[in-house]
Amino acid sequence: MHQVFAELFGGVGLFLLGMTLMTNGLKDATGETLKKLLTKFTETQFKAMLSGIGLTLLVQSSTATTMATIGFVNAGIMSFAQAIGVMIGANIGTTSTGWMVALLGLKFSISMIALPLIGFGAVINLLGKDRIAVLGLIIAGFGLIFFGISVLQEAMNGFSKQGDLSFLNANEFLGQIILVLIGLVMALLLQSSSAAITTTLAALATGAIDLSEAIYMVIGQNVGAVGITVISVIGASVSAKRTVAVNVVFNLVTAILAFFILAPLFIYFYQQYTFFTQWDVLIILALFHTAFSVMGALVFMPATKQLEKWLLRILPNDLPAIMKFLDEANLEFSAIAVQSAQTVQYYILFEIFSFLSAAFQEGAMPSQRKIKQLDEIILQLEAYLEKINVPYSHESNHDFVSLLRVMVYVRVLRSDLENIDYAILLRTQPAVLQTALDYKHIVESYIQQREQLGNPKNIEPMRNELNSLKKWTSQHRAEIRQKILQHTEVNQLNAAKGIELLAAQRWLDRLVAHTYRFSNVLYESILKNEERKFKNGC
């Protein structure tokens, strides 16, 4: 019996390792595809559900879909209502594992095929580069999945001969509850509903349990999958908690309906109708698993708006709105993390330019509270950037490098705010004030909303005008200094005041130069990104 349990745990471990390798490989290979799929095909609730199904089939992980969905909600790409549709679809898509195991993994011995796949994938990963290396991980992961299933099947064969499960009785209510609890504990211990369902299919294939017992265990495994995601968002953002709450409500309500309606119907038809008894029990269990989630979709899809309102009410967001973009759940997908960080970066820059414009136009200084809040956001963004891991070959690598280059000027422009009180002084000196107002006019003309910072049609003309202003200030620097000195003498200002006016002029010159360099870096980044998108489109 000890050997049986050793094989059982080993088989589950191999399956989980294979799923992890394959899922991570698929996520790396399809990062941009995930983004395109969820941004282009979620306009309606039905399309959002289909996107959730497609995405989960693509990466073979409902957890990956959950993390991607949280990221897109945080990044403002997807509304929470759309996220509900995606999560419902993910629950349907994750049932594909059961079908794969039922149709392939337990139909014939594939260990002889699985082992060469593992070796072939490992060699490709070691010798290949970039996406070829990622393909090796996917192949090796696929082989490990089926080798793990083979080991599980052997373990369940031994368990069916030595184990006694006669105490399980799916015909009694108490027995049904016990089976559900067993399934729930299995999913929690294995940290994977796919692994739990695969183990159940292996037990069913070897006769360790019968179909009715397996059905109630699958119900518990779906509830257990909720427990996994709940644990993952302890201390996470409100967006993450709301998205996981969709899973909780969906799986719990669907489990109750399946327990009282769907399970009895499947068992009744299997026992009473010859047509169903001719079916393979593995296929029937996989069908039940899919029907379980489809039934939930039919119940919840018409009520997504009501579900959204309820969840927004019980899980309000008290943090500054911009901070939701820096959710660590976004780090699961580098493309989402980079876009989220860019959104926060644009927000910071827009705030800095707003402070400067108000100071030059009205002499209004930003409050210490606003400055402190801005500094906190900058610190949070810098900490977030350190956690983003973008492979060199990844499509998002260029965007990430551009983000870091622009970040240099975020810090430079923030340091310029330290002397923003010079703006008050400049308002007393007409010779310099006009330059300040010209600077303000250029910035305000092209950046009225933070989203415009990512538009090359705005950045290019702003860059050109800032360059002209920078050249003008350089050419007339000596002349303006002379006017300041004359102003000091005519108005009989003390030397300290004159020096302060000259310092204010130098500050304004640096501000114009820094903003021009920032616009130049931003323009180059946007231009290269547009060129890359054009090439990929071709």
Domains and CATH numbers, the chain: 2-314 (no CATH), 333-537 (1.20.58)
Distance CA 44, CA 489 (A): 70
Q: Walk along the chain (538 residues) and give the pLDDT tens digit of each residue.
A: 566 667 767 877 776 787 677 766 666 665 555 666 666 666 778 888 988 888 788 766 776 677 677 767 766 667 788 888 888 998 898 888 888 878 875 555 556 677 788 888 888 888 887 778 878 887 888 788 777 777 776 776 655 555 555 556 778 888 899 999 998 888 877 767 777 888 888 888 888 888 999 999 999 988 887 776 676 666 666 777 888 888 889 999 999 999 999 999 999 998 888 777 788 898 999 999 999 999 999 999 998 888 888 888 888 766 667 887 887 777 877 878 888 899 999 999 999 999 999 999 888 999 988 998 899 899 889 999 998 887 665 667 888 888 999 999 999 999 999 999 999 888 888 878 889 999 999 998 888 888 788 888 888 899 999 999 999 999 988 888 888 888 777 777 777 777 888 898 899 999 999 999 999 998 888 887 776 665 655 4
For residue 318, the model assigns a pLDDT of: 60
Q: What's the pLDDT at 254?
A: 94
Whole-number pLDDT of residue 29: 60
Among 77, 131, 58, smallest CA distance to 394 is for 131
Q: Name the 3-class secondary structure at 166.
A: coil
Contact 510, 461 (CB under 8 A): no
Task: Provide the pLDDT for residue 538.
Answer: 47
The rounded distance, in Å, linking the Cα atoms of 296 and 230 is 19
Helices within 273-396 (DSSP H only): 274-277, 281-300, 304-314, 334-362, 368-387
C-alpha–C-alpha distance, residues 535 and 538, integer Å = 5
Under DSSP, the state recorded for 129 is -
Rounded distance between C-alpha atoms, residue 419 and residue 504, angstroms: 8
| Cα–Cα dist 359/42, whole Å | 43
Its pTM stands at: 0.63
pLDDT of residue 109: 56
Other C-beta atoms lying within 10 Å of the C-beta of residue 298: 12
Q: Which of 66, 61, 68, 58 is closest to 87 using CA atoms?
A: 66
- CA 201 to CA 220: how far, in whole Å? 14
Packed helices 130-162 and 2-29: angle between N→C axes, nearest 10 degrees? 160
Is residue 249 within 8 Å of 306, Cβ to Cβ?
no
Contacts of 59 (CB under 8 A, 6+ apart): 23, 26, 27, 30, 34, 65
Q: Which residue has the tokens 């159940």?
A: 200
Nearest to 223 by CA among 270, 309, 128, 292: 292
Q: Residue for token digits 């001719």? A: 278
Structure confidence at residue 44 (pLDDT): 79
**Strand locations in 237-282 (E):** none
DSSP states of 73-97: HHTTSS-HHHHHHHHHHHHHHTTHH
Tell me if 148 sits within 8 A of 17, measured CB to CB: yes
Closest CA to 20 of 165, 138, 159, 167: 138
